[in-house]
Each structure stands twice: as C-alpha cells, then as structure tokens.
Structure 1
Amino acid sequence: MRPTHVLLAVLVAAVWGVNFTVIEIGLDHFPPLLFSALRFLAAALPAVFLVGRPKVAWKWVVAVGLTLGVAKFGLLFVGMDAGMPAGLSSLVLQIQAVFTALFAFAALGERPSRLRLLGMAVALAGIGVAAVEEGTSGPLTAFALVIAAAACWGASNVLTRRAAPPDALNFMVWVSTVPVLPLLALSLAVEGPSRDLAALRALDWQGTGTVLYVAWVTTVFGFGAWGWLLHRHPASTVAPFSLLVPVFGMSSAALFLAESMTPLRWCAAALLVGGVALASITLPRHRATAPPPESQPAAAGLTPSR
C-alpha cells in the first residue's frame, strides 16, 4: 500500500474507534433507539439523492439495512446506554470476526483453517476474560447486548458478501435508508413519545455534533473510504487495520471519558486483538503442480496492488 493509503486506513480506524466515545456522549442527549434512528437519517439524507440508484438488488439493501442498522446498531446503542463502557464496547465488538467466520461456514460453506480456528478460540478466551471483568464491575446484560450486536454485525458481513456491491458508498447510503422508520417505531414503542420529544426539544450543539459525527464521519466517510481501499487492495491487506479500532476506542474513552483500564481489561484486549489477528491471517495455497515456465508472470507474487 502507498503511504497515503496506509494513512487513510489508520484514519478510518481512528474515526471508528473515537466513534464509541462520541456515542457515549450522544447517549446523554438521546434515548438509544432514537439516537440510532437519527444517525441513519442523517447518513441517508441528502446523500441518497446524490449517489444514484442502488447497484444491487433491493433484497440485499433491505436485509443488510435490517441486520446492520436495526439489529446491530440498535443493540449496541441500547447496550451502551445500559452501562457498557465505550472503550470495552469497541473491544468486545471485534468478536464479530468470529461470528462472521461461523456464519460464512454455515451459509457459504467457507471452511476456516486450523490457524483461523485457533485465532477464534483465543478471541473467545478474550471475551471470557472481558465477561469476568464486566461481571465484577458492570451489568452483564449490557455486555450480552453488545455480544448480540457483534453477532448481528457478523451476519450482515455475510449478507454484504452475498450482495457483492460494486460501490461501497452507494450501498451504505441506501442501506442507511432502511433502519430509519423501524428504529423510530421501536423508539416510540419502547422509549415513549414523551421521552423522544423531550430529547428533540432539548437538542443543542453537542447533541447535533454527535449525530453528525456518527452519521457523516463514521458512516459515510468511514465506510466509503474503507470500501475505496478494499477496491484497490486485497482484503487481507486492508482488514488488519481494523484491529486498531479498539486501540483508538479505549484510548479516546480513557482520555475524554476517564474510563480506567484494569489489568483484566488489558488481558482481554491482548487475547481478543491477538485472536482476531490470527483469524485474519490468510495462508497462501500451494499448488500440487507448477504451471509451465512460459505461462508464469515475470514477477510472480510481486504484482503491485491497484
């Protein structure tokens, strides 16, 4: 990757990591389901009028919108509102890599390698340590909600792979249109219209800023830039940069929210990040017979990425 592309990948990881701190601040201004609905409303408008028609079938837009937007982000916001710390949420959510591998095996028949299975086992051990930590210092229900959010993220990853959108930004903008009404309906039913109206009436610059950050910076810029990188480089080259998300997430939470990092959290972070790193490694496949010399590229294996 070019240095500018590396910097862009690190910037996206930083944006996604800081996002958890911004969500925590936003939850002081909005009920969680309303906040999530406003996030997708701001991400969809006015961008939906600028990106053109969806480039995949509507069934994929709706399926990913419900799984990623309603289920994943709804559960995440509710879990954080119930007491799950921002830094720990940024870490625990990375278990989505394990769920993605499991769902890909079940739905797509993708068999994980032994190294990937080892990485998944290490990551699950990290989740176990994090659960012990949260069980002694916070509500386990909130922890479970974030785990469920990670599972929904894994399912949405498999659906996105099936959809194979040629334009990541176009796809994400149209996906953002789907969760708005379901989340608003859930907010009215669960959180109540009086609480929603009170939050909207008390809207200030800080509340507005959190909505714009999670919508435009995290969703539109973050997913758009990530898709741009994936279009130009192998997924195995780009994906490891996502391991920086909990680093920025926990650092920003400690800096801006004064969240402490206990020894158990450091242990959970090391196990989870290390396990996801192992699970992300793609080993080269060895061919039984080599092709004739005249059919091989002059610099096999050294072809520059796009």
Structure 2
Amino acid sequence: MNVLWGLNIVAAKMAVDLIAPVTAALLRQAIVLLVCITALRIIRGKMLALTALGLLSGCAFYVAVNLSLAISDNVSALAIAGQLGVPFSLILAVIVFRERIRWPRIAGILLSFAGVVLLVFDPAAANEIPGIALTAIASAIWACCSLIQRSLRGVPVLTIYAWVGFWGTAGLLPIALHWEPATMRDLGSIPLAALAWVAFSAIGSTVAGQGAMSWLLQRHPVNLVTPLTLAAPVVSVVVAAFWFGTPVTWLMAAGGGIAMLGVSIVALRSASRTNLDGGEKR
C-alpha cells in the first residue's frame, strides 16, 4: 500500500505532463468507475454523503492536485506539503465534532505546519509556492472527505469508490470540456504510455491502495495501522527525487522531518484516542 501510494506521485506527475491536468483527472475517475461499476448501487440514507464525497474527493481534490503537479517541478516538496491532510482533519474534527485535543496533538499540528512553511525558504522549492499552496488546498479537501467518510460506516468499499468515480467523472467532464477543449477533442490520440500512467493512479493508488487501507482497518486496531502508513510520504520523496532528478536539500529534509514528526504525533495520538474511546476500527 505504501509503495503504491509512494509511486503514485511519479505516475500522477507523468500523466499531467503528457495530458492536460483536468483531462488526466477525468480519465482517472472514469477508470475508477469502470473498475468498480458492478458495485454501484443506491444506499438508502447515505446518498447525500456519497454524493458530497464523490464531488469533493473525485472532482475538487483532483483538480487541485493535478494543477499543483502541472505547475511544479520539485514534486518532492509537494509530497511533504501533502501531509497537511492529517492536521487539517484534526482541526475540522475540533470545529465540527467539538473533539477535545490536548497539548501533544496541538504541538503536532504546529510542527506539521512549521515543516511545510520551511519549504518556502528553500531555494530549491522557491518556485513551487503556487504548487505548495494548491497542495495545501487539496489537503484541506481531503480532510473534509475524511469527516464525510465517518458517516459511511457499513457501506462496501467498492461501492464508495464506484460513487467517487461516478461523481468525479460527472463533475470533471464539464470542467475539462470548458478548460481543455482541444485535449478533449483529441482523446483518441492520447499515447498509450500516458494512459498507462493514469491507469496506474486509478487502479494502483485509488482502488488497490485505498482498498487495502480499508481492508486493514477492518481487521486491525487503528493504532497499529496508522503508523505504518507514514512510510508513504517517505517513499514519495525518495522516488520523486530519483525519478525526476530533483534535489533534496538539507532545508527540505529538515522541513520534511519536522512535518512528519508533527503528522506522526497527531496520527499516533489520534489513533490511541480512537481505541480508548470505543475500540473503533476505521
């Protein structure tokens, strides 16, 4: 799962370099829908949440992510900034669910943001500020989606992603037609290599990676699974630096380390609290 997620940053970047970013996102969601379509069904009492999740996770999130990748060269910096989803989720939980947090998780939130802020002062990432900002927006959207998923307990994983693919495709289609009409007219001429990168993101990262996460959380305690997922951003940074030849400076390493420390504190403390408060396996 971590390897799939880590490799996905290369696949996503290659896809937006070969295909216009919104069209690449549209094709990704269309593949997700195609793979999961047999699980597409009406779930009574859950359709509002499934629609909101689909439009946010399948559409808005990928517009922000793909645009950030399209305008950035140093994707290692984006991989680090992408970890803001964890502290954003906690902040939203405090606002929406009035969840109480103590100083360790507050410190984790502050460290996460401090690590990303350090990237702004790194000369190697100085030109990536717009991409980092878009990644932060995507992380906030991801955090909103994580809260929506709380209301989808009991809904089969493939059904969730079938609706994500459906609403993602439906939402991205008019945007791609408006913003990228030339690419949409020439869909038939997109190279197979470009489609292969998109397919890897759709099947490897979304269906297999997210599906594996759901499978693990149904069978093991949260505080056992969550720490293991922290390897994914490390894989992303290393793979991106190797594949694209972008430098990982000492300042970027320091910022990444501080951000990961903050994310680790938030994730571990949140997982422990979840188990103590009711033994939930999510």
Assess same fold via TM > 0.5: yes
Letter matched to residue 41 of structure 2:
R
Residue 72 (structure 2) aligns with: 83
Residue 233 (structure 1) aligns with: 220
Residue 139 (structure 2) aligns with: 150
Map 1:22-33 → 2, pairs under 5 A: 22-33=11-22
**What's the offset of the Cα at 1:41?**
0.5
**What's the offset of the Cα at 1:29?**
1.5
1:94 aligns with 2:105: no
Separation (CA, whole Å) in 2 of partners of 1:208 and 1:233: 35
Residue 37 (structure 1) aligns with: 26
Separation (CA, whole Å) in 1 of partners of 2:54 and 2:179: 20
Q: Which residue, out of 224, 227, 249, partners 2:236? A: 249
Residue pair 1:134, 1:143 contacting (<8 A) in 2 also: no
1:129 aligns with 2:118: yes
- TM-score between the two structures when normalised by the length of structure 2: 0.90
1:47 aligns with 2:9: no
Residue pair 2:86, 2:143 contacting (<8 A) in 1 also: yes
Change (3 A) 1:169 1:128: same
Change (3 A) 1:195 1:62: same
Letter matched to residue 202 of structure 1:
S
Map 1:159-238 → 2, pairs under 5 A: 159-191=148-180, 193-198=181-186, 200-238=187-225
Letter matched to residue 141 of structure 1:
P
**What's the offset of the Cα at 1:84?**
5.3
1:273 aligns with 2:260: yes
Q: Which residue, out of 261, 278, 294, partners 2:248? A: 261
Residue 14 (structure 1) aligns with: 3
Separation (CA, whole Å) in 2 of partners of 1:84 and 1:258: 10
- TM-score between the two structures when normalised by the length of structure 1: 0.84
Letter matched to residue 171 of structure 1:
I
Separation (CA, whole Å) in 1 of partners of 2:95 and 2:123: 30
Residue pair 1:21, 1:87 contacting (<8 A) in 2 also: no
Residue 69 (structure 1) aligns with: 58
**What's the offset of the Cα at 1:71?**
1.5
Q: Post-superposition, which runs of at least 4 consecutive aligned residues in structure 1 deviate over 4 A?
A: none
Residue pair 2:60, 2:141 contacting (<8 A) in 1 also: yes
Residue deviations 1:213-258 (CA, integer Å, cap 9, x gap): 0111111111111100000012221112221111111111122211
Change (3 A) 1:139 1:248: closer
Letter matched to residue 184 of structure 2:
D
Letter matched to residue 246 of structure 2:
E
Change (3 A) 1:255 1:54: farther
Residue 110 (structure 1) aligns with: 99
Separation (CA, whole Å) in 2 of partners of 1:272 and 1:181: 35
Change (3 A) 1:139 1:91: closer
Letter matched to residue 203 of structure 2:
W
Give ranges in structure 1 of 5+ residues lacking alignment: 1-11, 288-302
Residue pair 2:89, 2:143 contacting (<8 A) in 1 also: yes
Residue pair 2:74, 2:128 contacting (<8 A) in 1 also: no
Query: Higher helix proportion, which one?
Result: 2
Give ranges in structure 2 of 5+ residues lacking alignment: none
Separation (CA, whole Å) in 2 of partners of 1:94 and 1:110: 21
Partner SS state of residue 106, structure 2: helix
Separation (CA, whole Å) in 2 of partners of 1:104 and 1:33: 30
Letter matched to residue 2 of structure 2:
A
Change (3 A) 1:124 1:172: same
Change (3 A) 1:52 1:81: closer
Separation (CA, whole Å) in 2 of partners of 1:88 and 1:135: 9
**What's the offset of the Cα at 1:281?**
2.1
Q: How many residues align?
A: 274
Residue deviations 1:50-83 (CA, integer Å, cap 9, x gap): x252546111111111111211121010111011
Letter matched to residue 97 of structure 2:
L
Question: Which structure: larger Rg?
Answer: 1
Separation (CA, whole Å) in 2 of partners of 1:241 and 1:100: 18
